[in-house]
Chain A
Amino acid sequence: MEIMHCENLSKIYQTGEASVFALDDVSLSLASGSFTAITGPSGSGKSTLLHLLGGLDKPTKGTVYYRENDLYKYNDNQLSVLRRRRFGFVFQSYNLVKELTGYENILLPVMLDSRQPDEAYLNRIIDLLGIRDRMSHLPSAMSGGQQQRFCIARALANKPAILFADEPTGNLDGKAGREVLTLLRTVSHELGITLVLVTHDLHVAEQADRVIKLEDGKIAGDSGVTV
C-alpha cells in the first residue's frame, strides 16, 4: 500500500546566472512499511530528494503526496505538525540541540506536540538503541555513534509513519555504522515504519528492500516498485 508518492519533482538552485538542476523531474512512490535506499554519487540529488519528500525544503516544480495529501499545499504550521507527528528525521551530522540533554532531545517532538510521553514505548526504543546510560548527558559529551543513536530515538519518539535518514552512517566508522544501520532496520521493521535512507555506500543499500539510484538529479535505476 502506497504511503507517499511524488510527481515530476524538480529542484533548481540559482548560482548567479547559471541554474543547477539538483533534481530533475523525479517521480516515485513509496510503499508503507518498506525500506528504500536512495543511492548515487555525490551531487546526484539524493539528499535533495529526501528533504523534499520530508517537507524540509520546497521543490521548484512538482508535488509530494503523503496519503494522497499534497504536502506543499499545507501552510508552515500544518507542515510542522505533520513533521512532528508523522515523520522522523535522522541526519548525517546528528543535529541534536546541543543545549538539551540526550533524553530532552528525544522528548522534543513529543513536548512540541504538548502530549504526555509514552514512557513504555520510549523505554523500549532506548533499550533497543542502548543509550540508557547517556540520557542525562549533553550531546557534546557523547561520541558520534551515541549522538546518532539519540538522533534515531528522537526521530522515533512520536511513532512516525516514515523515517527519513540522510546518510546516517556517513560520520561513523565501519563498526558503528553497521550497528546503526542494523538498529534502523530492526526498529523500523518492529514498529512497522517506512524507512527511506540516503546512502552512497552500496553495502548499506544492499540491505534495503528497494534501491533507487540517482544520477545528475534523475532516476538512473530502480530495483523495483514495491507498492
Chain B
Amino acid sequence: MKALTVSRMAAARLRANKKAYLSLLIGIFLSVFLVTTLVLCIQGVILGQMERNNKRLGYEDAFLLDTPELTDGDLAEMGYFDTIGHVYVSAGIQDTNIYLGWYDETGADLLGRQVLEGRLPEKAGEIAMERSAMLAIREDGQWQLGEEVTLKVIPVDGVEEERTFTLVGYLAEQSNALTNPNNTYAVYVTGFPALLVSPSEPAFASGRVAFHRLMTLTVPISEELFRTFYNRIEDHVLGRFQVKTISGNLIDSYYSEYVFGLNSDAFVIAIMAGILILALLLSCCVGIAGSMEGILSGRSEEIGILRALGATKRQIRRMFGRESWLLALTAAPFSIALSCLFVWGLALWMPENMIFKFNPLLVIPVIVLSAAVILISGSIPLRRASRQMPMSVIRDTGLLRKSKHIRSRKQFRVPALISKRLVRLYPTRLLGAVILSALMCFCAAMLSIVLFQGISGFVPSQEAYSIMMQGNGSARGYVSYLPGQPLSDQSLNQLRSLPHVRKVNVNRQLRVCVLLDHKTSYFNAGHYHNDALMTLEEYTEYARSLGDTADLETIRQRYAGEQASYDAARNALGISQELVMTELQTVTPEKLELLEQSLGSGKIDLDAINAGQEVLVVAPQIWWVSESGTQGFRLIDDPSEAEREKAAMTVVNDWAFAGQELPIVQLYTDDPQAGTDEDGKSLYESCTRRDALVTIGAVLDSRPYSLSGMWGAVLTTEEGLRNMGLFRNGWDTITIYLDGIVDEETEKTLTQSVTAIARRAERFQVYNYMESARENARTQLQLMLLMGAITIVFFAVAAGMIVSAVTRQLQSDGKRIGMLRAVGAEEKTILRCYSGQVFICLTLGMVLSVLVMAALFTSSILNVPARYYPGGIAAILFFTVCCMALCAFLLRRRVRQVTRGSIIDNIREL
C-alpha cells in the first residue's frame, strides 16, 4: 500500500472536488496567461516599432550632414561613436529636393536600403530610384525597369549636365524620412539620395561630392549624454547633426527640448505599463486568493473537524496549499505556452509591427512572479482559515462578534436587506471583489493610456506632403531674404480645394529685431546666438565653457571684432538701441486661448493683439545653462536649484515685461544674392525696413509643444501682424494631410497638382511623405486591431475574475438559497440579493480606482499630462458598465443553475 503523503491527499481531493477547483484552476491559468501575453505583446510591439523605424530611417543612431571640416578621426576621437558609414551625394535634380548618390559598405549596411522591384545598381550607368522621386521628376508616366532614363542633374556646387542611366530597380521610400522637417538648417545642405547609382559611377564634369556620415553610438542615448556630446559637435556643425530617437523622430539642436518632452511621455508610458503589469499581478493575487477563500469557506467545517481531530495549523496549510501548487504546476506551463503561441501568431499576422521574441530573461521573471503570486495569494486565506478555533469554524461564532452592530428592521425589502447584510457581515469576502474590481478598473485605464497613447506616440499622424522654402531666411546679418513670389493665400486655398485634402496647416515665421535699451545675453541660448550682446566677462566665460583655451588677449580681440561689426550694423541702420534678433510667429486665435496655461504675467487680450497694439512674448523668468556648457536651457522654479544643478550660467529675463513698449524692426530683401558680394553697410542701406511699436500684453513662462517658436519669440495673430504694418510674405511651410490613403494613380495626380502649385512660388520644394503615410495607416490599423485583441483578452479575463469573485458565493450559498426558496422567494428575488452585492462591489471598485488614478496621476513621480485623464476615466466607466452587464447576465445563469435543483438539494448541500 502506498504511503499517504500530503501531495497524494491533495491530488485525491482535487480529483474528488473537480468542480469546486475548476474556478481556481481557470483563475491561475488566465492570470499567468494574461500577464505573460501582456509582457510579450509590449515587448513585441516595442521591438516591432524599433525595427520599423530602423527600416524607415536606417540602423544608425545619428547622422551628420555634409560636414567636410570634420574628419572621421575627429568624430572617432570623441569616443561616442563606434561605427561610421558614409552616404555620398553627387548631384540634385533641378527644382526638386531629389538627390543622386551612393553609399559605402558601412553606410549601405546601416541604411539597409530595401528594393521593392528589380535590384540595386551594380555598375556604372545603372540607377535605382524611389517611386515618389520618379513621380516628381517625370509627370507623364512611370519608367519601366530596364528603360533608359535621361536626367538633367546639377552636381553639388556645379553646373547642370545631362546623363543617361538604365533603370534597374525601385527602392522603398527613405530619403524624405531622413529629412527632418523641423530642421530649418538642413535645407542648406543636400538631402539623402532618392536616386541610387553605383559607387563606380564616373564623376560629373563640375562640382564636388558631398557626403553625410551615419554613426552608431557606443552607448544608448541619454539626456546627459545627448547634452554633452551634442554641444561639442553642434558647436562646429550647427544644425547638421541629427539624432534618431526611439520613437523614430529626428532631432537637432533647435528642438532638443522637444525630444526630452517626447522622452518624458515615453517614460510616463513605460512607468504606466509597469504599473499596469504590477496591478494585473495584484489582481491575479486577489483573484486567486478569492477563489481559494471561496473553496475554503465551502470547506470550513472540514477544516474545523480536521482541527478538532488534532491537525496542526501548519498541517492544514500544507494540505490545502499543496492543492493550489498542484493546480499551478498543471496550469502555468500550458498558459505560458499558449501565451507564446498567441503572441507568435500575432507577430506572424503583423510582421511589420510586432516581433515575437522568446526572451527567457523576460519569461523567467513572469514564472517566478506567477509562482510568488500563487504562493502569497493562496497562503492568505489559508492562514486565516487555519487560525480559527475548531468550534468557531463549525458554529460560525464569528457572526456573534459582528451582531452588536446589527439593527433589526421592522420592515424591509428582502433583496436589499440581504445584500446589505451580507456586505456588512462578510466585508472580507467582498473586499476581494472590491479590490479586484478597483484594480481591474485601474488596469483598464492604464491599458487605454498605454495602448492608445502609446500607439499614437509611436505612429504619429503622418502628413502626405509638405511644402517648404529652401534657404528660408537665409539673408545676411539682420536682414532676411523674403522671396518675391511667395506661397500666396490663393495657392493655399487651391491646395485646400484639392481632392482628398483633409487639412492644410500653415506656418508663418518672420525674422525680426527687437530694440532694447540694454544688452542681454538672454537670447544667446536660443536660435539667434549673438556674441556681441554679451559682456566681455560673459563672452570669456562662455568661450571657456566650450573648451576654448585661447589666452585672454586673443579672446578680448575677438570680442572687440564682434562689437565692431555689431556697431557698424547699428550705425548703418541708424539705430542707437541694442539690436536683438528674434522671430515673430503668427498663431490662430484658438491657439492663443490655449496659451493661457503658459501665462507668466500680464493678460492675453485678443482684441488688442488683433489691433496690432499688443503682442505676446515667450520669455520664461529664469533659465540655467548646465556646467558642461550645453545650450539646453531649462526653466527652474526654485532659484536654489541652479546651485544644486551646478549651473554654469543662470539667465534671467531682464528685457520683456508685461506692459512694456517693444519697438520691432523688420529688415528684408527679395534678392537672394544680396549681401553675398558686398559689405554689410550697403546691404543695410539697400534692404527694405519696416518699424512697429507695440506693447507686451503678456509674457509666457513656458513654450507649449504645439508652438515651434523659440524663447524670446514674439507672438501675434495674422490680423495683428497686418495691423502692425509688418510685411507678410506668404507662408513659410505648408503641411498637407489627406482624408485617407489614396491609390497610386490618385497620388500621381495629387503630386502633380501640389508640385505645380508649389512651383508658382520661388524656391519652394515639395516633400512627398505618402509612402510613410501609407505605412503609418497600415501600422495604425494593425496596432488598433492588436489593441482590440489585447483589450478583449484583458476584458474577458478581468470580467471573468470579477464575476467569479462575486458569484462564487452562490456556490457555497446553496443552503441560504434553499432556505429563501422554502419560505417562498422567487428566482428574481434571489437574483436581486446577489446583483445588489455586485452593484455595491463594482461601484466601490470604480470609485476606488478613480481615486487611486487621480492620486497617482497627479503625484510628483508620474505627473501624467492632463490629456490622459478623460481617456482613463472613460475606460473605467466603460469597463464598469460592461462588467455590470456581464455580471448580471452570468449571475442570472448561475442562479438558474442553483434553482434548477430542488429546494431540498439546496438545503442539504452542506
Contacts and interface: CB of A to CB of B under 8 A. Distances in A.
Interface of A: 51, 56-58, 76-77, 80-85, 89, 91, 95-104, 107-109, 111-113, 116-117, 135-138, 140-141, 154
Classify chain B: how many residues form its interface, as a range. Answer: 35 or more
A58 B827 CA distance: 17
Contact of A113 (B400, B421, B824, B902): B824
Nearest to B827: A76
Contacts of B818: 95
B661 to A, nearest CB: 79
Contact of B907 (A76, A91, A100): A91
Given A107-B412, A135-B408, A140-B395, A100 B418 contact: yes
A49 to B, nearest CB: 12
Contacts of A57: 902-905
Most chain A beta-carbon neighbours within 10 Å: one of B395, B820, B822, B826: B822
B903 A56 contact: yes
B422 interface: yes
Contacts of A80: 821, 824-827
B399 A140 contact: yes
A112 B414 contact: yes
Nearest to B421: A99
Given A89-B823, A112-B825, A154-B823, A98 B396 contact: yes
A98 B412 contact: no
Nearest to B409: A104
B822 A89 contact: yes
B824 A138 contact: no
B425 A99 contact: yes
B397 A99 contact: no
What is the predominant secondary structure among interface residues of chain B facing chain A?
Answer: helix
Contacts of A135: 408
B899 interface: yes
A154 B825 CA distance: 14
B411 A140 contact: no
Most chain B beta-carbon neighbours within 10 Å: one of A85, A89, A112, A117: A112
A136 B408 CA distance: 5
Contacts of B205: none
A195 to B, nearest CB: 17
B403 interface: yes
A155 to B, nearest CB: 8
Given A82-B824, A97-B820, A98-B399, 9 more contacts: A51-B902, A57-B904, A80-B824, A83-B824, A85-B824, A103-B408, A103-B410, A112-B823, A116-B411
B416 to A, nearest CB: 10
11 contacts: A57-B903, A57-B905, A85-B824, A103-B408, A103-B409, A104-B409, A107-B409, A108-B823, A112-B824, A117-B411, A138-B403
B546 interface: no
Most chain A beta-carbon neighbours within 10 Å: one of B406, B414, B417: B414
B269 to A, nearest CB: 46
B408 A101 contact: yes
Contacts of B885: none
A92 B421 CA distance: 25
Interface in B563-622: none
Contact of B816 (A58, A82, A97): A97
B422 A99 contact: yes
B397 A140 contact: yes
Contacts of A102: 408
Contact of A84 (B400, B408, B823): B823
Contacts of B395: 140
B852 interface: no
Contacts of A108: 414, 820, 823
B305 interface: no
Contacts of A58: 902
B403 A137 contact: yes
A148 B892 CA distance: 33
B824 A51 contact: no
Contacts of B903: 51, 56-57
Nearest to A55: B903
B403 A95 contact: no
Contacts of B815: 95
B867 interface: no
Contact of B899 (A76, A100, A154): A76
Interface in B720-764: none
A100 B403 CA distance: 10
B843 interface: no
Nearest to A155: B823
B19 interface: no
A101 B406 contact: yes
Given A56-B904, A101-B406, A103-B410, A76 B823 contact: no
Contact of B826 (A77, A98, A99): A77
A48 to B, nearest CB: 8
B829 interface: yes
B819 interface: yes
Contacts of B396: 98, 140
Contacts of B518: none
A116 B822 CA distance: 20
A80 B827 CA distance: 9
A140 B400 contact: yes
Contacts of B2: none
B413 interface: yes
A83 B822 contact: yes
Interface in B820-838: 820-827, 829
A221 to B, nearest CB: 25
A56 B902 contact: yes
Given A95-B819, A98-B396, A100-B418, A81 B824 contact: yes
A91 B819 CA distance: 10
B187 to A, nearest CB: 78
A77 B827 contact: yes
Contacts of A76: 826-827, 899
Contacts of B827: 76-77, 80
Contact of A141 (B403, B425, B826): B403
B495 to A, nearest CB: 70
Nearest to B905: A57
A55 to B, nearest CB: 8
Most chain B beta-carbon neighbours within 10 Å: one of A56, A57, A103, A117: A56
Contacts of B902: 51, 56-58
B408 A111 contact: no
Contacts of A138: 399-400, 403, 406
Contacts of A95: 815, 818-819, 822, 907
Contact of B412 (A91, A111, A116, A137): A111
A51 B904 CA distance: 8
B400 A112 contact: no
A104 B409 CA distance: 6
Contacts of A116: 411
Interface in B409-436: 409-414, 417-418, 421-422, 425
Contacts of A77: 826-827
Contacts of A137: 403
A78 to B, nearest CB: 9
Contacts of B407: 136
Given A56-B904, A99-B425, A108-B414, A140 B819 contact: no
A104 B824 contact: no
A111 B357 CA distance: 62
A160 to B, nearest CB: 10
Contacts of A103: 408-410
Nearest to B402: A138
B497 to A, nearest CB: 68
Contacts of A140: 395-397, 399-400, 403
A135 B79 CA distance: 87
Nearest to A56: B903
A113 B406 CA distance: 24
Nearest to B398: A140
Contacts of A91: 822, 907
Nearest to B908: A93
A89 B395 CA distance: 23
